[in-house]
Structure 1
Amino acid sequence: MRRSCFSVQFVFSPDSLTWLVKRDDEVLSRHCRKREAVSEAARVARADIPSVLVISRMDGTLEGERRYGFRRKP
């Protein structure tokens, strides 16, 4: 079974500051607020299990990772 990889990334462009929700290299949505982007990314990641959500900071460093649909070890 192939796992999906979702991410929340900050993008600076001349006309806007945007948080992108991406699956692999496909942009799924754009948000002005990071909180909204993370909520949307979590929603789509939970709907497409097994999946991993990688959350980045504004400077591009890794903030955290969430896994959905994986079994926990006892």
Structure 2
Amino acid sequence: MTEVYEAFRAAGVDDSTAKAAAGAIPLAHDVATRIDIERVRQEIAEFKADIYRALWLQGLGIVTLTVALLRILP
């Protein structure tokens, strides 16, 4: 931010405007890159797969329990 502020000051921008403009520009380490976004998408896809797997296992457990109870109880 200091470099941007100094560049504005060197260009003749007044102090308060230079501070406001420099503060409005996001720093490079705060901005998500395409790689970051792709990584998040991949993590979401893996999480969804885990959720679907757990859902199927729960369904299988419910069916198994229902069949067992129907055989035990007349």
TM-score by length of 1: 0.24
Larger gyration radius, structure 1 or structure 2? 2
**Greater share of helix:** 2
TM-score by length of 2: 0.24
**Greater share of strand:** 1
